[in-house]
Amino acid sequence: MHEFFGTDGIRGEVGKAPITADFLLKVGWAVGSVLRESGNASVIIGKDTRVSGYLFESALEAGFLSAGVNVGLLGPMPSPAIAYLTQAFGATAGVVISASHNQFQDNGVKFFSSKGVKLSDEIQKAIEEKISSTMVSVDSASIGKAKRYGQAVGRYIEFCKSTFDKNWDLSNLKIVIDCANGATYHIAEDVFTELGASVVMINNQPDGYNINRDCGATDTKHLQQEVLDQNADIGIAFDGDGDRLIMVDHKGEKVDGDELIFIIADSWKKNGHLKSNTVVGTKMTNLGIRDALSDLGINFIEAEVGDRHVMDQLIKNHAVLGGEGSGHIICLNKSTSGDGIIAALQVLEVLCKSEQSLYNLKKKMNKYPQVLINIKTEAEVNLINNERLSDAVKVIESKLSDKGRVLIRKSGTEPLIRVMVESIDSDLAAESANYLAEIIQSK
């Protein structure tokens, strides 16, 4: 178990350990020192639009330079762009300063290897050991150099466009794009307009504080209304660091990650692109989607919650498509990490080729009503040895039979307990979820 590295790098509230400038200075030095052990090393650093990004960019930069590592500064860039650009620029590692879908008070840092994937457990362990040692700078002749890369945005835009079939374009689509005031604010418009779409942009004016605030993939109400007001064909929502995608159809209805994965899977199965005939989801993946995949003869593999676990199962099973209802969608035949823009392009390609609307495509399966309640917890809550909760779950599971299920889990990124009940009967799902939430909240 790592002391500092969580399921998605190091993340927390700005100003509280470990998300402080002095600690991230040490992290930069520690990572740089480990990378230098194999010879000369270089890293690239990207960030989202949080005000604290400037602070932590400078701290990490100083740490890397003091370890003798050269640094390329990219400025605001989506996390998946760093995964790609680490390979494109031949860097030893890529660094993203972001807390993804969280609001501006939080920040974090995650790393990609030279191949655009997460650092191995062995390297993470070596970094943690180095963090615990005394920081010693290299001599002045060995200090690293830093430069800003001006061409990074253009290269990533071209890469995204290259994942869309060049025999087609988006000229018949009007799209509303919600950038969550995050890292896609200066990229998304160019990608979609250069492929021919008519684009309306919202929440693309970041001020350092408004990232993910009442917008983006975690809150689509504004986008849903804008799609209706603009009489648009489709709405696209990203989160703060651009690795999540939620869409909205022309009727203003939200289409989540599970539904989008199904739409891509259905198309890829038909054209022979669905390697291993397999889709990877998680424990949270909707039962209706699983049933529909089964009806198409597509294997479904359930991973633990979190895109890192989805990625592990994709690699293990030689599959190329997986993700979560929250909008993490991994198309491994297109990129090395979950990428909101690239996932959106795959869905739009299906729309163009099938000549069907997103609304009609999602109707090919029946999604089970799913009720999710997030319970804030300050103190540690024991979910395992709670007899009253266990008894209540058993009663509810017997009511749901094989047409529903219960999942109670602690969040890996926030102080929350998530209660999810899924049932073909929406009223039963809501009633059951509320009852379980009351039991967890009662001392």
Q: Which residues are marked as active site?
A: 100
| Residue 146 burial class via C-beta count within 10 angstroms: exposed 0-12, middle 13-18, buried 19 and up | middle
Same domain, 16 and 106: yes
Token pair in block for residue 168: 């087609």
Question: What is the predicted pLDDT for the residue at 401?
Answer: 87
Question: What is the predicted pLDDT for the residue at 385?
Answer: 78
Same domain, 29 and 142: yes
Domain of 218, CATH number, reads 3.40.120.10
Same domain, 250 and 261: no
Sign of CA dihedral 353, 356, 362, 365: negative
Q: How far is CA 134 from CA 27, 125, 127, 138, 301, in A?
A: 12, 16, 13, 13, 44
Is this structure's pTM higher than 0.85? yes
Which of 332, 362, 392 is a domain's end point?
362
Domain membership of residue 165 (yes or no) is: no
Token pair 């994965």: residue: 261
Q: Please check whether residue 204 is in contact with residue 236, taking contact to mean a CB–CB distance below 8 angstroms.
A: no
Domain membership of residue 161 (yes or no) is: no
Same domain, 183 and 282: no
User: Residue type at 255?
Assistant: V
pLDDT tens digits for the chain (443 residues)? 456 776 668 999 999 999 999 999 999 999 999 999 989 999 999 999 999 999 999 999 999 999 999 999 999 999 999 999 999 999 999 999 999 999 999 999 999 999 998 888 889 899 999 999 999 999 999 999 999 998 999 999 999 999 999 999 999 999 999 999 999 999 999 999 999 999 999 999 999 999 999 999 999 999 999 999 999 999 999 999 999 999 999 999 999 999 999 999 999 999 999 999 999 999 999 999 999 999 999 999 999 988 889 999 999 999 999 999 999 999 999 999 999 999 999 999 999 999 999 999 999 999 999 999 999 887 666 777 788 899 999 999 999 988 899 999 888 767 889 999 999 999 999 999 999 999 988 85
Domain membership of residue 3 (yes or no) is: no
Residues 6 or more apart from 384 whose CB is under 8 A from it?
none
Question: What is the predicted pLDDT for the residue at 1?
Answer: 43
Domain of 188, in residue numbers: 170-254
Question: What is the predicted pLDDT for the residue at 416?
Answer: 87
Same domain, 326 and 434: no
Token pair in block for residue 394: 């058993």
Which of 124, 151, 178 is a domain's end point?
151
Domain count, the chain: 4
Which of 254, 270, 292 is a domain's end point?
254
3-state helix, strand, coil in the chain (%, to 5): 40, 20, 40
Same domain, 19 and 146: yes
Please, what's the b/e burial string for 2-32 (b: 16 or more CB within 10 A of its CB; e: otherwise)?
eebbeebbbbbebeeebbbbebbbbbbbbbb
Domain membership of residue 382 (yes or no) is: yes
Same domain, 310 and 413: no
Same domain, 262 and 248: no
Same domain, 285 and 300: yes
Domain of 386, CATH number, reads 3.30.310.50
Question: What is the predicted pLDDT for the residue at 7?
Answer: 60
Domain membership of residue 159 (yes or no) is: no
Domain membership of residue 374 (yes or no) is: yes
Domain membership of residue 158 (yes or no) is: no
Sign of CA dihedral 270, 271, 276, 278: negative
Question: What is the predicted pLDDT for the residue at 428?
Answer: 95
Domain membership of residue 4 (yes or no) is: no
Same domain, 132 and 178: no
Same domain, 131 and 39: yes
Same domain, 127 and 194: no
